[in-house]
Amino acid sequence: MKHRIFNISLFTLYITISTALMIWQGIGISPDRYAFVLLLGSLLVKKTRSFILDWLPFLFILISYDFLRSFADKLNTQVHYVELIGADKTIFGFIPTIELQKIFFHPGFLSWYDFLATILYFLHFALPLSFGFILWLKNKNQFKEFTTGILLLSYAGWLTYLAFPAAPPWLAGERGFLQGVTKIMDLTLKNFPERLNLPTIYHNFNPNPVAAMPSMHAAYPFLVFLFALKFFKLKALLFSPYVLAVWISIIYLGEHYAIDVVVGAFYAAVFYFVSANLHNWQLQKRLSFVYNLQTMAKKANRIDLGLECSVCKSRNYVTSKNTVNTKEKLSLKKFCRKCRKVQIHNEFTKLK
């Protein structure tokens, strides 16, 4: 137990420093690059072989999702610009992105929270992968349940992008559908260090600018929060300010409408329950299988036998025994109907 807590603490310190260095050096946090960071983390806790076996299938499916997402807009070119604007106005009576930028954004001057919002946006993959690693160190069944949830969530999002390609606020502004929106990240990224040109397969992926609904940037942290609440109980509440900060940031930056966040959180809740129920069903099925095997094994080791009175030789009782647990012949004190008193009864196996 103490060793596991030490490993989790060591990894938390390592991943915090590594992520900060990646941001400081302008290194994009893509799943393949971050997987390499996690691989080094597995070396640190001396579980590299186990990491490769457990993580490789998950990472392959997750990166495949991002590959599919990159050309979803090519399969359906009917982009929706006004529907999300109408949804925000109907629910809130105004466009939250425009109102937030009116209050907090100052053209010609970037505030500290502009950079903080940008950093939170780019921690999109870092958070779930780091949380998954902590679960992997803590309990592999919990890790499997969480990764099932995030993969189901991701592919449900991809199907939605395919069926309903939707433009974010900044793109709607560029196309003249929405006035008063600034793509703040275009300004903040100019002040970040030049990106180191480290290898990544994401150079071959085309960004999908019309994958606004649902917001995976809203869904991923909320899914992490739900699983943290399940596995770490009330300690997970310490994570809730981060979730809210991400939601506000992506709306403020003009990357998502508020309705995108609401639907993203809804998707996360749905696939949290789907994953949990699927895991419970698999667990019950596994336990049932083990129980049946044990029952069959017990039946295979049992024999039927009789008990006869050692005095009058009357065969008074029929029973059974487990030949593995009880190898010696039975000799029990039982009431004999013929002798009309308790006598020693011995085992016999030739039942007629």
**Does the pLDDT value for residue 254 go beyond 80?**
yes
Residue at token pair 């036998």 = 305
**More confident call, 327 vs 38:** 38
Cut 0.75: pTM above it: yes
Tokens 């105004």 found at: 94
Please determine, for residue 302, whether its predicted confidence score (pLDDT) is greater than 80.
no
Greater confidence, 3 or 150? 150
Please tell me the predicted confidence (pLDDT) of residue 299.
60
pLDDT reported for residue 203: 47
Using the predicted structure, report yes or no on whether residue 64 has a pLDDT greater than 50: yes
DSSP β-ladder status, 331-336 and 315-322: unpaired
Complete domains list, the chain, with CATH: 2-291 (no CATH), 302-348 (2.20.28.120)
pLDDT at 188 over 70: yes
pLDDT at 202: 45
- For 121-141, what is the mean pLDDT? 88
What is the pairing mode between strands 341-348 and 331-336? antiparallel
DSSP annotation of 94: S
Mean pLDDT rounded to a whole number for the chain:
83
pLDDT of residue 246: 95
Task: Report DSSP state, residue 109.
Answer: B
Q: Between these two residues, 352 and 319, which has the higher pLDDT value?
A: 319
How far is 79 from 174, CA to CA, in rounded Å? 14
Mind listing the pLDDT tens digit for each residue in 202-245?
445 556 778 889 999 999 999 999 999 999 988 889 999 999 99
Q: Which of 5, 1, 263, 26 is nearest to 122 (CA)?
A: 26
- On whether the CB atoms of residues 168 and 256 are closer than 8 A, the answer is yes
Q: Mean pLDDT over residues 309-332, rounded?
A: 81
Give the 3-state secondary structure of residue 318: strand
Residue partners of 240: CB distance under 8 A and separation at least 6:
225
Query: In 276-286, which positions are buried (b, 16+ CB within 10 angstroms) versus exposed (e)?
Result: beebeeeeeee
Identify the CA nearest to 253 among candidates 157, 129, 124.
Answer: 124
